[in-house]
Structure 1
Amino acid sequence: MTVLPALTPEAFRKRFPMLRRTVHLASCSLGARSTELDRALAQMLEDMAVGGAPWGAFERQVDEARSRFAALIGARDDQVAVMPNASVGAYQVASTRNWGARKRIVTTTAEFPSIAHVWLAQRACGAEVVYAAPAAEDYAALINRHTSLVSVPLISYYDAARPPVAEVVQAARSVGAEVFVDAYQAVGVEPVDVTRLDCDFLVAGTSKYLLGLPGLAFLYTRSPERTDHAPRLTGWFGRVDPFAFDPYHLDFSTSATRFETGTPAVPACYAANAGLRLIAELNPTTVRAHVRQLGELACERLTEQGEQVRALPPTRRGAHIGLIDADPAALTRRLAERGVVVSPRGDLIRLAFHYYSDIEDIAALCAALRADRAGVGRQPTPSPIDPRSRLSCTQPN
């Protein structure tokens, strides 16, 4: 077993110069920009400028990203497909299934909508989609011998809740159903091991806690070739030999590349490797402890100054907490003007922590909220009867 070097949060934070001027609490949406990311994109431009056609370098980036992600989740390279996003990964799984005797998909009200929409679209193919509340007994009540697929997030995108994945997997196994796990809000800030999860499929992407860019995701498949039929969506990267350039035959690899489609987003591949190299320097258990500690401190400090916080107990949540506000989008914009970056969802603002986050970020957040609540430095909103406003009372009905 490889023992990772002791990298402190302070040393890790130095890889992100933007944090000297910005309080970044939105890693649940987009990770902070690192020096490694800048170097990776510069390397891509250099690869384009020298040595002729850069496609060989681009292919190596794709393969490296696949390999690094596989190592991170305890999978083999041949079990991982490179996807443009998690939704396409979910569709590729759904597209290989026959919705006959086993037509039920059990998902959850805590599912990220983009994944849930893929399941809903299978109704046109004969699937039955049912929703469980994110509790073990609710899943168990819906999983039966007609169930083909059970979908569960490792961490909820909304409030960072941890559904009972182990119990859900056990219930699915008892009837011969397969399990799809969305780990987008988990990989990078806690240990994720597909063998321990005992899942059949898992998706995650590079733009959040993996510190890359949008445009790249990964699909883990336990047994890539054991599907009802071949994927409905395909492309030249899904062929046994993509460089055969044969337009007449459709062959599929026995590895997870059978789920791949066309050319991946090359800049996102370079960025993915930059982020995955950074994550590989960390001990995920240490990262999880760090973000839990910061989450608890933030809950305490925010509550003390009168803010309404939505947060589950530390062992039952992921890397972010929620701040409830009447207008989360507007508050997000105002905090950004004060140098604090957060992520709104529904009726709350998500405050996400990573290994580069520290207590000074929490202090700066609290100070920005105090100033905002007091109206310090805020431009007044025109009244509906202010003659300078377009919503003046002189306007006709």
Structure 2
Amino acid sequence: MSGALLPEATRDRFHLPPDAIYLKSHSVGCQPRDAEALLRDKLLTPWREAGEAWPHWLDAIDEWRVALAGLIGVEARDLCPATNVTAALSRYISALGAATDRRTILLAPSAFPTIGYLASGLAAAGWKTRYLPDDADVRDVANWTAALDGDVALVIAMHVSSNSGALTDIAAGAAAAKAAGARCIADCAQSVGVVPVTPAAWGVDAVLGTSVKWLCGGPGAGWLWVAPHDRTALDPMDRGWWSHANPFEMDIHDFHYAPDARRWWGGTPDVAPFILSTAGINEIAAIGVGAIRAHNQTLQAMLRDALEARTPQWRWPTGAIGGTLCIDTGADQPRVAEALDRHKLRADFRGSILRLSFHGYNSAADVEATARAFA
């Protein structure tokens, strides 16, 4: 299994906490060493030296689109920056009202809460929210198929669940949605950077993502990918001057949607988050998502080998999972939390569920330290 591990030098690409072992890449990834210089060169220097820095800043956002497009195998023109996943989803749904008479949004109760908050908040606009049963395995496409009917407009599926680490077969879910006449959008916030994200191969209609977590790009740089078949077919109601084909035309009576994913953009864009995001994407691309995935799975297996037989009272995950190892520690949770703190292991919990994430900058030594802490 050691052959699947990345070289130790991978750690040198990132700033790691000097006094702790960081196992929370499902929350905020570690800062790339190139991030500070890139922010200075792309944001601060043009601003200082040119005053009117927008041409430079827009070039930086275009570079971000190209970098992310290369990482997930799509065309840059089909990617739109967003402040966060919530904003991206809101703008996407704003276009569906005029595109379909259906009014039901289908998701799983294990979806990230912001998805449910947004969906249920649309009730005043005539939308209904439907959930899979609480005990339904999101990895079994039959559960999604059984919940589909003629009123479902949109299926929202998490590629990787933040609560359990469950890895959903997005392609199967998208096919089921399409067969039922619905669209499918994949939330890849917990997968992109550690699990291959392949929108074109999946056949989904859209993808949501963020640069915080595994992409190591910090907050504020969310994104929306819209499939080419909807490139100009959907017109978001939630729009702004940067959704315009020519934002600087400045005719309040004359609006023309941008001919690509920029139509989802909205108002004046943030710049700094996307420069920082580019630094993260560049590092992940240089290491390789496939290599990070293999490294992650090897470290997960090492920890299971060291602890699973010794902790029969814990519930270890079964089936396909993403980059986060979610272990239900049950009544042991207070003891485990104390051990994490005492041994300076940075992980977290959802209730009694311990969440551990091994990124490319984690090592076999980190696994050994974790195993010793729980001995």
TM-score (norm 1): 0.84
- TM alignment of 1:143-162, pairs within 5 A: 143-162=148-167
**C-alpha separation in 2, matches of 1:241 and 1:92:** 19
Matched, 1:321 2:325: yes
Q: Deviations over 1:141-160 (max 9, x none)?
A: 11122221111111111111
Q: Which residue of 2 aligns with 1:352?
A: 357
Q: Which residue of 1 aligns with 2:65?
A: 66
Matched, 1:214 2:214: no
| Structure 1 segments unaligned to the other structure (5+ residues) | 1-5, 371-397
1:117–1:74 Cα change, 3 Å: same
| SS of corresponding position for 2:58 | helix
Q: Which residue of 2 aligns with 1:279?
A: 284
| SS of corresponding position for 2:65 | helix
Q: Which residue of 2 aligns with 1:38?
A: 36
**C-alpha separation in 2, matches of 1:87 and 1:175:** 25
Structure 1 residue corresponding to 2:178, chosen from 173, 196, 202: 173
Q: Deviations over 1:147-178 (max 9, x none)?
A: 21111111111111012323222211112211
Structure 1 residue corresponding to 2:371, chosen from 366, 369, 374: 366
Matched, 1:102 2:94: no
Q: Which residue of 2 aligns with 1:197?
A: 202
Q: Could you tell me which amino acid in structure 1 is paired with residue 13 of structure 2?
A: R
After TM superposition, give the deviation of residue 325 of structure 1 in Å.
5.4
After TM superposition, give the deviation of residue 338 of structure 1 in Å.
4.2
**C-alpha separation in 1, matches of 2:44 and 2:54:** 12
**C-alpha separation in 1, matches of 2:39 and 2:188:** 26
After TM superposition, give the deviation of residue 249 of structure 1 in Å.
2.9
1:216–1:309 Cα change, 3 Å: farther
| SS of corresponding position for 1:251 | coil
Q: Deviations over 1:259-310 (max 9, x none)?
A: 1112333221111010011011123222211111111212232335548554
| SS of corresponding position for 1:351 | strand
| SS of corresponding position for 2:236 | coil
Say if 2:317 and 2:326, in contact at 8 Å, map to a contact too: no
Matched, 1:123 2:130: no
| SS of corresponding position for 1:243 | coil
After TM superposition, give the deviation of residue 194 of structure 1 in Å.
0.9
- TM alignment of 1:158-307, pairs within 5 A: 158-222=163-227, 223-227=230-234, 230-303=235-308, 306=311
Say if 2:6 and 2:295, in contact at 8 Å, map to a contact too: no
| SS of corresponding position for 2:55 | helix
Matched, 1:76 2:83: no
TM-score (norm 2): 0.88
Q: Compute the RMSD of aligned alpha carbons.
A: 2.5
Which one scores higher on RCO, CA 8 angstroms, separation ≥ 6? Answer: 2
After TM superposition, give the deviation of residue 203 of structure 1 in Å.
0.6
**C-alpha separation in 1, matches of 2:315 and 2:250:** 54
| SS of corresponding position for 1:50 | helix
Larger Rg: 1
After TM superposition, give the deviation of residue 361 of structure 1 in Å.
1.0
After TM superposition, give the deviation of residue 335 of structure 1 in Å.
3.3
Say if 1:328 and 1:345, in contact at 8 Å, map to a contact too: no
| Structure 2 segments unaligned to the other structure (5+ residues) | none
Q: Could you tell me which amino acid in structure 1 is paired with residue 58 of structure 2?
A: E
**C-alpha separation in 2, matches of 1:41 and 1:311:** 41
Structure 1 runs of 4+ off > 4 angstroms? 307-310, 325-334
After TM superposition, give the deviation of residue 53 of structure 1 in Å.
2.9
| SS of corresponding position for 1:288 | helix
After TM superposition, give the deviation of residue 83 of structure 1 in Å.
0.4
